[in-house]
Amino acid sequence: MTDLRAAALQALRAQTIEIPSWAFGNSGTRFKVFGAPGVARDPFEKIADAAQVHACTGAAPRVSLHIPWDRVEDYGKLAAHAADLGVAIGAINSNLFQDDEYRLGSLTHADTAIRDKAIAHHAECVEVMRATGSTDLKLWLPDGTNYAGQDDLRARQDRLADSLQQIYALLDPGHRLLIEYKIYEPYFYAMDIPDWGTSLVHCLALGDQAQVVLDTGHHAPSTNIEFIVMQLLRVGRLGAFDFNSRYYGDDDLIVGSADPFQLFRIMNEIVEADALRPDSGINFMLDQCHNIEPKIPGQIRSVTNVQEATAKALLVDREALHAAQQAGDVLGAHGALNDAFATDVRPLLAELRESAGLAPDPYRAYAASGYADRIAAERTGGTPASWGA
Amino acid sequence: MTDLRAAALQALRAQTIEIPSWAFGNSGTRFKVFGAPGVARDPFEKIADAAQVHACTGAAPRVSLHIPWDRVEDYGKLAAHAADLGVAIGAINSNLFQDDEYRLGSLTHADTAIRDKAIAHHAECVEVMRATGSTDLKLWLPDGTNYAGQDDLRARQDRLADSLQQIYALLDPGHRLLIEYKIYEPYFYAMDIPDWGTSLVHCLALGDQAQVVLDTGHHAPSTNIEFIVMQLLRVGRLGAFDFNSRYYGDDDLIVGSADPFQLFRIMNEIVEADALRPDSGINFMLDQCHNIEPKIPGQIRSVTNVQEATAKALLVDREALHAAQQAGDVLGAHGALNDAFATDVRPLLAELRESAGLAPDPYRAYAASGYADRIAAERTGGTPASWGA
Amino acid sequence: MTDLRAAALQALRAQTIEIPSWAFGNSGTRFKVFGAPGVARDPFEKIADAAQVHACTGAAPRVSLHIPWDRVEDYGKLAAHAADLGVAIGAINSNLFQDDEYRLGSLTHADTAIRDKAIAHHAECVEVMRATGSTDLKLWLPDGTNYAGQDDLRARQDRLADSLQQIYALLDPGHRLLIEYKIYEPYFYAMDIPDWGTSLVHCLALGDQAQVVLDTGHHAPSTNIEFIVMQLLRVGRLGAFDFNSRYYGDDDLIVGSADPFQLFRIMNEIVEADALRPDSGINFMLDQCHNIEPKIPGQIRSVTNVQEATAKALLVDREALHAAQQAGDVLGAHGALNDAFATDVRPLLAELRESAGLAPDPYRAYAASGYADRIAAERTGGTPASWGA
Amino acid sequence: MTDLRAAALQALRAQTIEIPSWAFGNSGTRFKVFGAPGVARDPFEKIADAAQVHACTGAAPRVSLHIPWDRVEDYGKLAAHAADLGVAIGAINSNLFQDDEYRLGSLTHADTAIRDKAIAHHAECVEVMRATGSTDLKLWLPDGTNYAGQDDLRARQDRLADSLQQIYALLDPGHRLLIEYKIYEPYFYAMDIPDWGTSLVHCLALGDQAQVVLDTGHHAPSTNIEFIVMQLLRVGRLGAFDFNSRYYGDDDLIVGSADPFQLFRIMNEIVEADALRPDSGINFMLDQCHNIEPKIPGQIRSVTNVQEATAKALLVDREALHAAQQAGDVLGAHGALNDAFATDVRPLLAELRESAGLAPDPYRAYAASGYADRIAAERTGGTPASWGA
């Protein structure tokens, strides 16, 4: 156990979680977006907020951008601003859902001109990657249909495959195209990339630089997500996570808040496959909203939730686990996993932080920092950032 | 069969479907609201559009209002406008989800002042009822929590019960309070009225003027909705429907578009309980969006879908059905139901319309009417109505 | 925290969990029932096995019986056998699903003779209650239909209400009728008691001795179960739990094995409502299978899982929780709950057991006891008990 | 429309549906298997019953066998018996779930000896194929785990891949290996082939003779099945259907009984891809139970339900549909599909049957045939066939 603990500390030290710029803007449901004081008004302020999360946790050194929400004149300046604050630019997310012309589709649209426009948007994103040093182009395809018969499902796939080929051709050698899937919303009959199988089919057609993104909130009820993690690892195509929590649909709650045992099981598959190490190429990202809770503390809680699940996964006594599995000892093997989950890892994580010169509890450290009051006082003019801008 | 057909025609002649004013404003998802040409800009234009649906179908003589979206200075004038166009004002819908103070709840809020404000809003709605002749106050409670522990579930119920008592006390003798339930959204851990059981518990506590509203999109996956219809009819508390369709969450698609057999089974329970007749007190309302399709044709299709399901339910040979049920003839009884569903009722409905001096196909009649082009040309200034205004 | 710990220990000392006799017989799926060595062959052996669970955990002093599976000639002798082994007879479960005549229903059957037979079966169960000192008659109604139209849903409810009245009339003053609901299986279109609302409607019609049983595996996906617990407590009709775990359908896995956070949230509602104390009248029962794992260890793990969830619920700092809730501090309140869940309560439970003269780890204590080998050696002839006998 | 009707008749004439021998044995739930008079007692009687379905419908000329349930001494004799009755032997189904040794897995078991046994079982199945002229080996893998940690998910995949390679090597050139997936049951934590993606990953690794089987009841709630059909057709790996209906889990009800619109949408994808023609290689099979309804009429209804859905799909005015799709006319395209679904195709199918010298209504024809009474009278001794034998 002592050895497990030491090894866990070492692995946790190397773990990084990427946080999304849009978590620091206002978000909500179709019914209402509630505002909050001090919300960032531009990409520079979003990055400043993200840097606070990293300053408190020591585990969140990258920020994903979303284009056009994070469009700036000088991306080099934005990257330098991030570096000054101790963070780097992570994945560049394209946006295919907020143009009036995309009402019936973007990369799948029947009209070539609209498809071309959507492809060109990715060329802009690749430029942002070059300017910021990002290596991941993340594509969540919001395309789909609302009514049976509305469009030809097969024709849409073929148009999608063609569009993806063109986007893939834009990549530099070290770049990756990360393709996310989602079962439903914003369309409600058939999404064009609804499941990991479809995402994989397209990645296989594209080549090695195409990988699947698994968003934990994008599955049908009762889907076993850790199985998909395992399978994508097995076929070498798990590129990244979008972490968040759900009870019902794509609830976008704080990761680990709804089912911490599920998050632990997911991280257990990662550890089991030795895919936690930084050079595994898996980008552990957050993608979630803070509709009613404060945003920076919400991100801090999210990061610590992932850390706690990871710590527990690292504390699994794998020798005992494998021995029980090999012996067909159902309850023994299950118990070996559960023993790790039952462990209170908060002291371990406090030690991790203190050994890095951080406060043991990032949530309290942030509360004590006065940052929230400061931004509430300072950010009084202008328009708070949101999904729409 | 001849008799069934004649009886069906008679019952269909008496059937009315209430349509929502908000179907004629723009709507969308949290990701994007797509605009459309000619969208109504105020309650008067919404009612004009609704009147078109009635003009084409002959079956939609009432329009639900939503306060504050349909706030006007002179409700008498609005009601007169409706009457001039051949329709009447239906249920008045309160809004508890678009005020910043309602972030953590409205009728359930821990702060009495906020609860009082939410109750007072219903007093305004009752005034609108008096001014427009409406008898139904519809309350969909969007309150809920996003995180376990966020609030005390029981305390919220007790505060809700108290708020409802105060609202109920506002009603005139002929008024009804219609209480709707919803499993999730806009909150994602626990809605405060998540299911029909909770709605019923509150109605029973309030009195006979309180009834349950069943929204067909507000249930967990695989819930048998017609069973709930039957049970609410049995205990005398089914007040109204909010019709729409879902494949996944609260998709708000055109009623009957996702699972026409389910809609038929629902209408079959209505017919079986002799609850279709107008004096049954059940208000058959639509509540749905038209995010990507044109709105007036979308409402027309919705009305005709309900009519088709009703017509099929009316064509069930109930003697044969009951005989097979009584005999334990599983496939015979199932077949008696299916025979009605397999029937093409479009000719019957065409006959119904023609006998009322209408065109046989309301969808084509509207397309041929030139109304769409007219409003697109006329409604050029101003701001299109939407959920937000 | 010291005080919380002491109070928790005291409450845990008083907590009892009832275990089902049928957990000690063979069970499986429709595809296969796997046998196991040493499985009990009759009710006496089942009770002996159950007594082992109590001997190891100190928390399982009652055994539910299932009639006719546990039919014996002399119930007084069976009760005495139980008493000799340190346990008592708990709820008596009726069986309405294994008679050929019940193919199309039992208490809801169209044929009065079959309904009478099903009612008479409950008279037998009440006799067993009298002979064994049991006070709970548990009725899970497996009735339902497989095809739309197969039978008249409303007529079935009315027949059910009548049958329940007759059963209720059989009860002695101190008896309770516990009515369980289930969304589906063994019928797949409409169960006759599919949800808590229907169960409650019938209980309200019957009287105060009728209460609802909540089986944790009997809900639609994504149902918030702790909300139902709260609501049934609020209306005074939560009679008992049937505990088990599910990922998909009615999986009947070890309680707490699939979603320990959910079990904690359920127990949190119990503690919040002060309904853990023995005189609350809530019977905490297990109802689950052990298809592939050994049965006695499976029951022991189930009992300790309930204890762990309860211990965590008892450790919630309710002052802090309520203060944060009152202040609208979303993350603070959520965090107060989570802090208790993150706590490793295994040492507390070890202390509880040792203070009662038991081994700290019941699972290991049983493994070390040699009982499994003993029964495997001794129980060689005869037929293992199962759901069918 | 005249042309559509003629083309539909021609396509329907060529359509064949394969029926399962096990539909003619007793089946049920884990709670109870209800018997019925006249149930077949051996494979010869099952085939005789299947031949009745074909005699009445003219559309069911093949019977799937299940080994060992349909084990006979002389398969040539069984095939000749079938031929005498006008039907042929279809797919051979292996059984990996009824051996005590398979409790923890078959093709995925940690023990090589057990895996070898399961592989050897397929060698027997291939022998049956050779003896009966069957070309399809259907493998539904029931393997899985019930508890997190019970076994190593990845190791199980690797063992499965190895086992499948060995089975694939057994095939003759004209043979196919059809690999079915299922989300849950008989295991409840993680099935080893839970989804189409996993099935496809293994098929791709094996080679062109491996194809996916889509069972309509084996998906998570709200999964869009026709999308999967489209995608598997697109990648050339849709080998077969197992048709049945579900409201909840794997309900195994009569295909088309729960959601006829879904079945129509599935058949629409088939027709759209021109995959209905016999040489497409897609085997349209039934796989369902008749727990409470009579079995031969249940199969007849199943066949006619598939025919009705197919007929409607064939009547879609594809020119109009594609034009509306191309024009982005959402409601027009949806309406083109719906118009076909609204059509009463029973007269068309009656014509189809009469043109083949059959009675227009197969269900009534069977009822009038006296066959049910005859087998009830004749099959009095022996043991009715069931899943277990």
- Conformational region of residue C172, where left means phi above 0, alpha means psi within -120 to 50, and beta covers everything else: beta
- pLDDT at position A2 is 63
Put simply, the answer to whether D110 touches A222 (Cβ < 8 Å) is no
Which residues contact residue D190 at a Cβ distance below 8 angstroms, ignoring those fewer than 6 apart?
A: A224, A226, A227, D144, D145, D153
User: What confidence score (pLDDT) does residue C178 get?
Assistant: 98
* Pairing assessment for the beta strands D18-20 and D62-66 based on DSSP bridges: parallel
Q: Work out the minimum CA distance from C221 to partner chain A, whole angstroms.
A: 7
DSSP state letters, C26-69: B-B-SS-B---TT---SHHHHHHHHHHHHHHHS---EEEEETTT
> Which chain B residues have a beta carbon less than 8 Å from that of C155?
325
Region D135-141: mean pLDDT is 98
**And the tokens for C85?**
């082994």
Strand partners, C386: C26
| B16-306 topology per CATH | TIM Barrel (3.20.20)
Average of per-residue pLDDT values in chain A:
97
D284, pLDDT greater than 80: yes
Distance CA C102, CA D164 (A): 43
CB contact under 8 A, D189 and A235: no
Cα–Cα distance, A170 to D379 (Å, whole number) = 71
Which is more confidently placed, A179 or D1? A179
* pLDDT at C387 (0 to 100): 86
User: What local confidence, expressed as pLDDT, does residue C63 receive?
Assistant: 98
Q: Cβ D331–B297 below 8 Å, yes or no?
A: yes
| Residue A188: Cβ-neighbour burial (10 angstroms; 0-12, 13-18, 19+) | buried
Would you say how long chain A is, in residues? Answer: 389
Q: What is the pTM of this model?
A: 0.98
Residue pair B171/B177 in contact by the 8 Å Cβ criterion? yes
Distance (Å, whole) CA C205 – CA C212: 13
Q: What is the mean pLDDT of residues B122-145?
A: 98
What would the pLDDT profile of C254-271 be if each residue is shown by its tens digit?
Answer: 999 999 999 999 999 999
Residue-wise pLDDT for A137-151, tens only, equals 999 999 999 999 999
Give the rounded distance of the alpha carbon of C375 from its chain centre: 26
Q: What would the pLDDT profile of D6-48 be if each residue is shown by its tens digit?
A: 999 999 999 999 999 999 999 999 999 999 999 999 999 999 9
**Can you read off the two tokens belonging to residue A297?**
């503390």
Cα D145 to Cα D157: distance, rounded to the nearest angstrom:
12
CA–CA distance from B324 to each of B162, B319, B328, D34, D363 (Å)? 48, 9, 6, 20, 15
pLDDT score for D309: 98
Q: Which residues contact A253 (CB under 8 A, 6 or more apart)?
A: A244, A245, A246, A247, A288, A289, B146, B147, B188, B189
Going by C-alpha positions, the residue among A363, A370, A311 that lies closest to residue A4 is A311
Residue C215, phi then psi, degrees to nearest 5: -95, 120
Alpha carbon distance B125, B139 (integer Å) = 10
Q: What is the mean pLDDT of residues A125-129?
A: 98
Q: At what angle do helices D330-342 and B295-314 cross, to 10 degrees?
A: 10
Q: Of B221, B301, B237, B230, whose CA–CA distance to B265 is shortest?
A: B230
- Minimum Cα–Cα distance from B205: chain C residue: C235
Res. B385: pLDDT tops 70: yes
Q: Give the 3-state secondary structure of residue B76.
A: helix
- Report helix, strand or coil for C73: coil
Helices (H), C70-195: 75-84, 112-132, 153-168
Q: What is the DSSP letter of A220?
A: -
In 3-state terms, chain D is what percent helix, strand and coil (to 5)? 50, 15, 40
pLDDT > 60? residue A111: yes
Task: Point out the residue among B262, B331, B343 whose CB comes nearest to the CB of D344.
Answer: B343
Q: Is B220 on the interface with C (CB under 8 A)?
A: yes
pLDDT at A273 over 60: yes
Q: Which of residues 350-379 of B touch D (CB under 8 A)?
A: 363
Cis upstream peptide for B37 (omega within 30°): no
Q: How far is CA C58 from CA A127, C47, C132, C262, C276, in A?
A: 67, 15, 21, 24, 17
Q: Is the model more confident about D202 or about A389? A: D202
Cα angle value D171/D173/D175 (rounded, 5°): 55
What is the total residue count of chain B? 389
A139–chain D nearest CA distance, Å: 20
Give C227-253 pLDDT, tens digit per residue: 999 999 999 999 999 999 999 999 999
Rounded to the nearest 5°, which phi and psi values hold at A62? Answer: -130, 150
Average pLDDT for chain D: 97
> What sign results for the dihedral spanned by CA atoms C106, C108, C113, C116?
positive
Q: Find the mean pLDDT for residues D279-298.
A: 96
Which of B220, B224, B338 lies nearest to residue C222, judging by beta carbons?
B220
pLDDT for B59-93, tens place per residue?
Answer: 999 999 999 999 999 999 999 999 999 999 999 99
Query: Residue ranges of the domains in chain D?
Result: 16-306
Q: Average pLDDT in the C177-187 region?
A: 98
Q: What is the pLDDT of residue B387?
A: 85
pLDDT at D387: 85
| C97/D251 touch (CB, cutoff 8 Å), yes or no | no
Residue B388's pLDDT is: 72
B389: pLDDT strictly greater than 70: no
Q: What is the pLDDT of residues C125-143, one digit of tens each?
A: 999 999 999 999 999 999 9
pLDDT above 70 coverage of chain D, percent: 99
What CA–CA distance (Å, rounded) separates D249 from D220?
Answer: 8
> For residue A297, what is the nearest residue in chain C, using CA coordinates?
C331
- Per-residue pLDDT tens over the stretch A210-244: 999 999 999 999 999 999 999 999 999 999 999 99
Residue C74: Cβ within 10 Å count: 10
pLDDT at D1: 54
Distance CA C58, CA A19 (A): 48
Mean of the per-residue pLDDT values of chain C? 97
Residues of chain D in contact with residue A268, where contact means CB-CB under 8 angstroms, are: 149
**C251: which chain D residues are within 8 Å (Cβ-Cβ)?**
146, 184, 188
* pLDDT of res. D93: 98
Q: Is residue A387 very low, low, confident or very high in pLDDT (cuts 50, 70, 90)?
A: confident
Asked whether the CA dihedral A184, A186, A190, A194 is positive or negative, the reply is negative
Tokens of A207: 């080549």
In tens, the pLDDT along C274-322 reads 999 999 999 999 999 999 999 999 999 999 999 999 999 999 999 999 9
D154 and A328 in contact by Cβ < 8 A? no
Give ∠ CA D62-D67-D69 in degrees, rounded to 5. 95
Q: C389 pLDDT exceeds 60?
A: no
pLDDT at C340: 98
The pLDDT of residue C388 is 72
| Residue C94 DSSP symbol | P
The partner residue sitting opposite D194, judged by closest CB among A151, A189, A227, is A227
Among B222, B247, B343, whose Cβ lies nearest the Cβ of D248? B222
Within 8 A of C32 by CB-CB distance, chain D residues are 97-98, 102, 186
Q: 10 Å Cβ neighbour count for A322?
A: 16
Reading the block at residue C357, the tokens are 């003269």
Contacts of C295 (CB under 8 A, 6+ apart): C23, C24, C36, C39, C49
In three-state secondary structure terms, C206 is: helix
Contact A361, A300 (CB under 8 A): no
* Cα separation values, C216 from B181, C272, D109, Å: 22, 19, 31
- C-alpha B184/C-alpha D175 separation (Å) is 49
Q: What is the mean pLDDT of residues D51-60?
A: 98
Residues in chain C: 389
Rounded to the nearest 5 degrees, what angle is found at the Cα of A192, between the Cα atoms of A187 and A193?
A: 110
Is B326's pLDDT higher than 60?
yes
